[in-house]
A and B are shown apart, each in its own frame.
Chain A
Amino acid sequence: MTVTDDRPASVLGTRLLRREDPALLTGEAKYANDLNVPGALHLAVLRSPYAHAKILSVDVSAAAELPGVVAAYSGTDLSGLWASPMPSAWAVTPDMKNPAHYPLASTKACYVGDGVACVLATSETIARDALELIDVQYEPLPAVVDLEDALSDRVVIHDELGTNSSYTWDLKIEGTEGQVAQAFADAAYTVSERFIQQRLIPMAMEPRAIVAVPQPFGGDMTLYSSTQIPHILKVMTALTLGIPEHQMRVVAPSVGGGFGSKLDVYAEELLCVALARKHKVPVRWNEERGENAVATTHGRGQIQYVELAADASGKLTAVRIRIVADMGGYQQLITAGIPILGAFLYAGVYDIPHAYDFSCTGVYTTLTPTDAYRGAGRPEATYAIERAMDVLADTMGIDPMDLRKRNFIAKEQFPYTAFTGLVYDSGDHLKAAELAAEMADYAGIRAKQATQNVPGATKLLGIGQASYFEMCGLAPSRVLASLNYSAGGWEAATVRVLPTNKVQVVTGTAPHGQGHETAWSMIVADRLGISPDDVDVLHSDTAIAPLGLDTYGSRSLPVGGVAIAMACDKVIDKAKKIAAHQLEANEDDLDFAGGSFTVKGSPDRTMPLAAIAFEAFTAHNLPDGLEPNLEAQVTYDPPNFSWPFGTHICTVEIDTETGNVEVLQYVAVDDCGNQVNPLIVEGQVHGGVVQGMAQALYEEAVYDTDGNLKNASLAEYLVPAASDVPSITLGHTITPSPTNPLGVKGIGEAGTIGAAPAVMNAVIDALSGLGVTDMPMPASPHNVWKAIQAAQGASK
């Protein structure tokens, strides 16, 4: 007997092509700089050429006289426009020191790129030419580039703070005082490492672009910006400029990537709005690439001191972490909190006792402010623990894969209450690691390595692993409260069935390349039994989608997508009432499948959603007391983070004569629970892995001792292109999250989190026979060569 299921197969889990792509690929998508706004004036910002300097005087008179220039302003000229300093939403400690930061500096410039004056002109060219006519007298002060130099307070950047140290945030487990010290005293093995997380420049393909458009009469203002956070930007702009919130509307048009760098409230956004109000005309600004490199936030920038204690079998018994985090010249929106987001992950995927001691100090330097960058704190944490695990394995003389297996949290232990009190929702680290090892032929490569890496060999094989846990889906609001974050972590969704059975979904997420329109339409199609083509997804305009907390921290699907599924369920509940009424049946006797309600046991008594939608619209025959129309709204506050995980294995071959690292193979096994669209999941992992690989092998913001960025162009800041990275082999395990109805976890940052440590472990593994035990990222040919030279010099 054959059992057939004639229900339509769900679209969920299929490789539906992205509906966003035709407009993007044909160049028809409209970015902020493409918007045609008649009469707009162009803003240009004069930026400090000094990392640290007193501003003695600013003379804009010659610029103001240039034909086509409408106005030119110093920071002092505009000081009356700000109701408050630029927002910083994360005071991680009650005594955190945070200097007042305004859109233009008026007394002191604190990094190369800090805005000190601006011009409004009738064209962008005139505005930029006029900048050259502004005369600023500076008194240069010593730059503070090195983090430990910053900590020493040799030069204090913000006089009013009296120190460069902004805060020290500790994570200690109550009731376990002394346990960490005891564990280190009793340890059979200890590891103590110092790692550098170099500064990275996010380099979104689209630099920032802004248009502020005053609306006729009454003071309403529309701000178009290349941003990840239209909702947060709306509130923050209103507060900073003293505009009633209901008069601010923010629209994010097509946005060409963000990676966290557009999760911010920027000086230029505030300047455009303030000057558009002042001059009563639209004001626009478009960022140049070189400007983007200095005036848009950077990522990473940490020194990490990592200590592990282990017993004789290699079981971890304690973890102790000290971080110095580079905040740059000022705090931007969530600068201080970025390292804190990693604080919970320095024990990685390992089952450790309650012996954990974490402390992070945030310091100011005279460099571009740092803030969120893909992974935001978690890649740094994962790098530290995964590199340290390899060091521990090396110390013990065992295979690093074996050491990890001895320490993994076991599948049976989930949901797992960690030492921090956080609950890891689900996981199977051993399964992911074993699948990755099989796909990478881990044993085969180890065997090949034994014959290839012989003394005198100039091509050395290395294999490296990283097993990660990622804490994403930001976030349960109460947890955010405990971290002193100034907002919640919920997400809103509205599902509206139109009279013709087409569906509008309104989401508070703000896609900038992720494919939300496709993915959200699939969730709705699955829930309501309709085609994804019949679902329109409305987003990124606070007038259309007024409620939302936007897109970052791999939150959109596990929070925003779940909210949509729940709103669909509410729509179905309401539709069921109408169906029961019209079919003269009890609600409990109705089944909903394939877009129709059917009376159980009476397959001919059926009513499709299309008919119900029309009934709800006409309201001619609804149950007593039921409101017309078929629409539901849900605001979902997740009960937990989502915890994707996986194992990445990288194989490299190093040319010891040149220092060149060739990635021979990259295997990524990621588990993000149920997958809505595997095509999009794969795209996220590909991009994420390349971005992590870029940190390991290519990218670094290089400064001279005067605080000048030496590689502000794409010719010098080495973002790898498709031809520079290997084909990536993907595998997946699927361990649904038990904490949300879709069983999903985030995937936007996982690739980045796994990649940098996997690549660096492979590099060090290849070079271990030469006596190389660590080296700074990126493992550029020059750095590899120097590490080999140093190790060989040391061994002579």
Chain B
Amino acid sequence: MIPAAFEYVRAGSAAEAISLIGQHGDEAKFLAGGHSLLPLMKLRLAAPSVLVDIGRVSDLSYIRDAGDHIAIGALTRHMDVENSAVLKEHAPLLAHAASHVGDPQVRHRGTIGGSIAHADSASDLPATTLALGATYVAQGPNGTREIAATDFYHGFLQSALAADEMLTEIRVPKMQGAGWSFQKFNRRAQDWAIVGVAAWRRNGDSGVALVNMGSTPILATSVASALAGGASVSDAAQLAAAEADPQNDLNASQEYRVHLAKVLVRRALEEASK
């Protein structure tokens, strides 16, 4: 439980953080809430030589109504996402999903940007923002760029972010009254989902994404297509795992995960259709 030795520098702004990361190269990592990175370091599964602490870059903590979407600063804590009146009105699925992250201590420290940049398919917010068709904003030495959530997740803990880029903002389209559901199936309240489903439905449109059903969060496009083609909820749910590639672990076999995905997608769509 003692991490390998590392250097620590604190950034006062996003630009300074990017500059510091640039100076220290591949061995440096951003430290935001620390709730994904520090456990890995204590188990010595990660051993960055430099931590660039962006925890005090306060201008990246915000939730703003930006017209057709809500803009969320990357360093916004889960607790603030959960309790945001703006999000409760325009993206209630995201506010609700944030209330399921870890436990209260985690939600007071962990950040939405940290969770997405960590790109853990078992985390709740990557899949939820994927289902909502979010766009992520990354800032690097050469300025900013937008990355669609659908293009962001490349593999297990791998994302489209370059080593010298920092995730700065999450843009979530307004849900415009869509029905929604977040189904998190786990054994203890504080645990990662064994399988999770984030879903919304509005008229013929829908978005369904799966938590912990592969090395990345999975957009269940077959389900959405089937619904758009007029399939019933229960028929569409049978396609839940069409894009998935789940793992075996101590909590679930691959077969059980596929079964759970179908059950939970059906339940999510039923709830979102109400």
Q: Which residues of chain A have a CB within 8 Å of any CB of chain B? A: 124-125, 128, 288-290, 657-658, 660, 698, 702, 710-711, 713, 715-716, 718, 720-721, 723-724, 780-782, 785-786
Contacts of B188 in A (CB 8 A): 698, 718, 720-721, 723-724
Give which listed residue, B2, B43, B263, B264, contacts A128 with CB less than 8 A. B2
Closest-by-CB residue of A relative to B256 is A782
- Cα separation A715 to B188 with both chains bound (whole Å): 10
Closest-by-CB residue of A relative to B4 is A129
Question: Which of A124, A288, A781, A786 has most chain B Cβ within 10 Å?
Answer: A781
- Cα separation A702 to B251 with both chains bound (whole Å): 11
Min distance, Cβ B161 to any Cβ of chain A, angstroms: 25
- B177-234 residues with Cβ-Cβ distance < 8 A to A are 185, 187-191, 194
Give which listed residue, B39, B185, B191, contacts A660 with CB less than 8 A. B185
Closest-by-CB residue of A relative to B195 is A658
Also in contact, A658 and B252, with CB within 8 A (given A723-B190, A724-B188, A781-B194)? no
Beyond contacts A288-B1, A698-B188, A711-B250: 4 other A-B pairs, Cβ-Cβ < 8 A, are: A290-B43, A657-B263, A715-B191, A782-B256
Ranked nearest first, the 3 interchain pairs of A and B with the lowest CB-CB distance are A723-B189, A657-B263, A724-B188
Contacts of B39 in A (CB 8 A): 715
- Cα separation A710 to B245 with both chains bound (whole Å): 22
- Cα separation A114 to B30 with both chains bound (whole Å): 38
Contact A780 B187 (CB under 8 A): yes
Min distance, Cβ A121 to any Cβ of chain B, angstroms: 13
Q: Mask for B21-55, Cβ within 8 A of A = 1, else 0?
A: 00000000000000000010001000000000000
- B228-274 residues with Cβ-Cβ distance < 8 A to A are 250-253, 256, 259-260, 263-264
Also in contact, A710 and B250, with CB within 8 A (given A288-B1, A289-B1)? yes
Q: 25 A-B contacts, Cβ less than 8 Å apart?
A: A124-B2, A125-B2, A128-B2, A288-B1, A289-B1, A658-B260, A658-B263, A698-B188, A702-B250, A710-B250, A715-B191, A716-B250, A718-B191, A721-B189, A723-B103, A723-B188, A723-B189, A724-B187, A724-B188, A780-B251, A781-B187, A781-B194, A782-B251, A782-B253, A782-B256
Contact A721 B190 (CB under 8 A): yes
Closest-by-CB residue of A relative to B257 is A782
- Cα separation A497 to B73 with both chains bound (whole Å): 67
Closest-by-CB residue of A relative to B104 is A723
Also in contact, A698 and B250, with CB within 8 A (given A657-B263, A785-B259)? no
Closest-by-CB residue of B relative to A710 is B250
Contact B185 A781 (CB under 8 A): yes
What's the count of A-B pairs with C-beta under 8 Å?
50
Min distance, Cβ A785 to any Cβ of chain B, angstroms: 6
- Cα separation A660 to B1 with both chains bound (whole Å): 33
Min distance, Cβ B252 to any Cβ of chain A, angstroms: 5
- By secondary structure, the B interface counts as loop
Give which listed residue, B1, B43, B189, contacts A724 with CB less than 8 A. B189
Contacts of B1 in A (CB 8 A): 288-290
Contacts of A657 in B (CB 8 A): 263
Also in contact, A782 and B252, with CB within 8 A (given A288-B1, A289-B1, A657-B263)? yes
Contacts of A786 in B (CB 8 A): 256
Contacts of B185 in A (CB 8 A): 658, 660, 781
Closest-by-CB residue of A relative to B267 is A657
Min distance, Cβ B81 to any Cβ of chain A, angstroms: 20
Q: Which residues of chain B have a CB within 8 Å of any CB of chain A? A: 1-2, 39, 43, 103, 185, 187-191, 194, 250-253, 256, 259-260, 263-264
Contacts of B260 in A (CB 8 A): 658
Contacts of B43 in A (CB 8 A): 290, 713
- Cα separation A721 to B187 with both chains bound (whole Å): 11
Contacts of B187 in A (CB 8 A): 698, 718, 724, 780-781
- Cα separation A698 to B189 with both chains bound (whole Å): 12
Contacts of A723 in B (CB 8 A): 103, 188-190
- Cα separation A175 to B190 with both chains bound (whole Å): 57
Contacts of B263 in A (CB 8 A): 657-658
- Cα separation A710 to B251 with both chains bound (whole Å): 11
Min distance, Cβ B255 to any Cβ of chain A, angstroms: 9
Min distance, Cβ A131 to any Cβ of chain B, angstroms: 11
Min distance, Cβ B43 to any Cβ of chain A, angstroms: 8
Closest-by-CB residue of B relative to A661 is B187
- Cα separation A290 to B39 with both chains bound (whole Å): 13
- Cα separation A781 to B184 with both chains bound (whole Å): 13
- Cα separation A245 to B26 with both chains bound (whole Å): 58
Min distance, Cβ A565 to any Cβ of chain B, angstroms: 42
- Cα separation A124 to B187 with both chains bound (whole Å): 35
- Cα separation A786 to B260 with both chains bound (whole Å): 12
Closest-by-CB residue of B relative to A288 is B1
Also in contact, A785 and B250, with CB within 8 A (given A718-B188, A780-B187)? no
- Cα separation A785 to B255 with both chains bound (whole Å): 11
- Cα separation A711 to B253 with both chains bound (whole Å): 16
Contacts of A289 in B (CB 8 A): 1
- Cα separation A713 to B253 with both chains bound (whole Å): 20
- Cα separation A713 to B44 with both chains bound (whole Å): 14
Contacts of B252 in A (CB 8 A): 782
- Cα separation A124 to B103 with both chains bound (whole Å): 30
Closest-by-CB residue of A relative to B266 is A657
Min distance, Cβ B212 to any Cβ of chain A, angstroms: 14
Min distance, Cβ A42 to any Cβ of chain B, angstroms: 11
- Cα separation A768 to B263 with both chains bound (whole Å): 22
Question: Which of A716, A780, A782, A785 has most chain B Cβ within 10 Å?
Answer: A782
- Cα separation A386 to B40 with both chains bound (whole Å): 43
Min distance, Cβ B2 to any Cβ of chain A, angstroms: 5
- Cα separation A713 to B256 with both chains bound (whole Å): 23
Contacts of B191 in A (CB 8 A): 715, 718
Question: Which of A124, A657, A710, A720 has most chain B Cβ within 10 Å?
Answer: A657
Min distance, Cβ A682 to any Cβ of chain B, angstroms: 23
- Cα separation A125 to B260 with both chains bound (whole Å): 44
- Cα separation A718 to B192 with both chains bound (whole Å): 12
Contacts of A713 in B (CB 8 A): 43
- Cα separation A702 to B189 with both chains bound (whole Å): 21
Min distance, Cβ A124 to any Cβ of chain B, angstroms: 7
Min distance, Cβ A68 to any Cβ of chain B, angstroms: 13
Contacts of A702 in B (CB 8 A): 250
Min distance, Cβ A553 to any Cβ of chain B, angstroms: 30
Contacts of B194 in A (CB 8 A): 781
Min distance, Cβ A241 to any Cβ of chain B, angstroms: 29
Question: Which of A658, A715, A720, A721 has most chain B Cβ within 10 Å?
Answer: A658
Contacts of A785 in B (CB 8 A): 256, 259
- Cα separation A711 to B251 with both chains bound (whole Å): 11
- Cα separation A715 to B259 with both chains bound (whole Å): 24
Question: Which of B39, B185, B187 has most chain A Cβ within 10 Å?
Answer: B187
Min distance, Cβ A654 to any Cβ of chain B, angstroms: 14
- Cα separation A785 to B251 with both chains bound (whole Å): 12
Min distance, Cβ B107 to any Cβ of chain A, angstroms: 13
- Cα separation A660 to B253 with both chains bound (whole Å): 15
- Cα separation A658 to B194 with both chains bound (whole Å): 11
Min distance, Cβ A558 to any Cβ of chain B, angstroms: 35
- Cα separation A472 to B151 with both chains bound (whole Å): 63
- Cα separation A649 to B227 with both chains bound (whole Å): 45
Closest-by-CB residue of B relative to A207 is B1
Contacts of A288 in B (CB 8 A): 1
Min distance, Cβ B182 to any Cβ of chain A, angstroms: 15
Min distance, Cβ B267 to any Cβ of chain A, angstroms: 9
Closest-by-CB residue of B relative to A717 is B250
- Cα separation A713 to B191 with both chains bound (whole Å): 13
Contacts of B264 in A (CB 8 A): 658
- Cα separation A660 to B260 with both chains bound (whole Å): 11
Min distance, Cβ B41 to any Cβ of chain A, angstroms: 14
- Cα separation A299 to B264 with both chains bound (whole Å): 36
Closest-by-CB residue of A relative to B39 is A715
Contacts of A781 in B (CB 8 A): 185, 187, 194, 251
Min distance, Cβ B200 to any Cβ of chain A, angstroms: 22
Min distance, Cβ A287 to any Cβ of chain B, angstroms: 10
Closest-by-CB residue of A relative to B260 is A658
- Cα separation A124 to B251 with both chains bound (whole Å): 34
